[in-house]
Amino acid sequence: MLRFDKVTKTFGGNTAVDAASFTVDKPMMIGIIGRSGAGKSTLLRMLNRLTDASSGVISFDGLDVTALRGAAKRSWQSQCAMIFQQFNLVPRMDVVSNVLHGTLNRRSTVSTMFNLYPDEDIHRAINILERLGIAEHAPKRAEALSGGQQQRVAIARALMQDPRIILADEPIASLDPMNAQVVMQSLRDIHEQDGRTVIANLHTLDTARRYCDRVIGMRDGRIVFDGLPEHLTTATAREIYGADASFSEATTSTQIETTDPAPRVLADVAAQ
Ligand SMILES: Nc1ncnc2c1ncn2[C@@H]1O[C@H](COP(=O)(O)OP(=O)(O)OP(=O)(O)O)[C@@H](O)[C@H]1O
Ligand SMILES: [Mg+2]
């Protein structure tokens, strides 16, 4: 069980996350929504200890995550893999090596320096790429892939760590709608098939509604909604986004019908 207990983060006089409390008592797919600056990234970064909380406690299965140091902290970070909007791959390195980087935390310096990977890890990496529908790209440089394919490589790298939790900070914000759907579906499948918890910061309401079991809405650092997607009414959304009368779902939507994807992308998705 994952538990946030009055977790607060301040930067100088600015409270980025304000006494956030919630529990996750079984594997779920959770979407965190809120406008820019609401504290979504800070919340995720505190969970995998990229940022230290100013006060409060985060615990997982009884372990006080906020108190971990050194090797214990690194071990937690590999159980709690993070993917980012900009993929954070090594662009000139081939796809399979990028995925194998997910094993870095448990390899010696020498094997890392000489890029020596056990056969077993290479097979696992290929299997994960296959699962994500991109094994054919394994020998290519990461930079040669489309954004959606690169994000799937980043997911594969996260899976190499065999994490309990996958954190995704705006995983589809740089993608066109078709690739966004493929990436969200991949995260959904990973949650359903592997029983991993996925927590994703999402800019759009419709994505949270479509893929998540639970939605957490943040406003000005505070959790102002925590519930089922079907309880996320337009009125609640207004409260989360602090929107005035001009609020419109369309402005927070990635509905595929509203866009005109490039032919390259259509071919890419059709190939899967
Ligand atoms: N390293 C930092 N130093 C100072 N202030 C920060 C830092 N990181 C975040 N903040 C501030 O904390 C608040 C929350 O930021 P955060 O990045 O968590 O928001 P967000 O909900 O992820 O926004 P976005 O949707 O734009 O990514 C903002 O006011 C931001 O300026
Ligand atoms: Mg953010």
Chain segment 99-149, per-residue pLDDT in tens: 998 786 666 565 555 567 888 999 999 999 999 999 999 999 999 999 999
The domain containing residue 216 runs over which residues?
2-270
* Ligand 1 atom with the shortest distance to the CA of 51: 1
- Nearest ligand to the CA of 169 is 2
> 42 C-alpha vs ligand 2 centroid, how far in Å?
7
Is 84 a residue whose pLDDT tops 70?
Answer: yes
The answer to whether 267 and 178 are in contact (CB under 8 A) is no
* Ligand 1 atom with the shortest distance to the CA of 203: 25
- The pLDDT > 90 percentage for the chain reads 76
Residue 219 to residues 10, 40, 240: CA-CA distances in angstroms?
15, 9, 6
> 270 C-alpha vs ligand 2 centroid, how far in Å?
31
Provide the pLDDT for residue 94.
94
Provide the pLDDT for residue 230.
92
Pocket test for ligand 1, best of 8, 14, 199 (most atoms within 8 A of CB): 14
The answer to whether 173 and 106 are in contact (CB under 8 A) is no
Provide the pLDDT for residue 269.
35
pTM comes to 0.88
Q: Which residues line ligand 1 (CB under 6 A)?
A: 11, 14, 16, 34, 36-42
Provide the pLDDT for residue 272.
36
* Ligand 1 atom with the shortest distance to the CA of 45: 18
Residue whose CA is closest, atom 24 of ligand 1?
A: 36
As for how many domains the chain has, the answer is: 1
- Beta bridge mates, 14: 11
Q: pLDDT tens across 20-78, in order?
A: 999 999 999 999 999 999 999 999 999 999 999 999 999 999 999 999 999 999 999 99
Is 271 a residue whose pLDDT tops 50?
Answer: no
> 131 C-alpha vs ligand 2 centroid, how far in Å?
28
Q: In degrees to the nearest 10, what's the CA dihedral of 50, 51, 55, 60? A: -10
Separation of alpha carbons 59 and 50, rounded Å: 15
- Nearest ligand to the CA of 18 is 1
Separation of alpha carbons 78 and 59, rounded Å: 16
Q: pLDDT band for position 265 (50/70/90)?
A: very low
> 35 C-alpha vs ligand 2 centroid, how far in Å?
9
Separation of alpha carbons 269 and 272, rounded Å: 5
The answer to whether 206 and 197 are in contact (CB under 8 A) is no
| Domain at 53, CATH number | 3.40.50.300
> 40 C-alpha vs ligand 2 centroid, how far in Å?
5
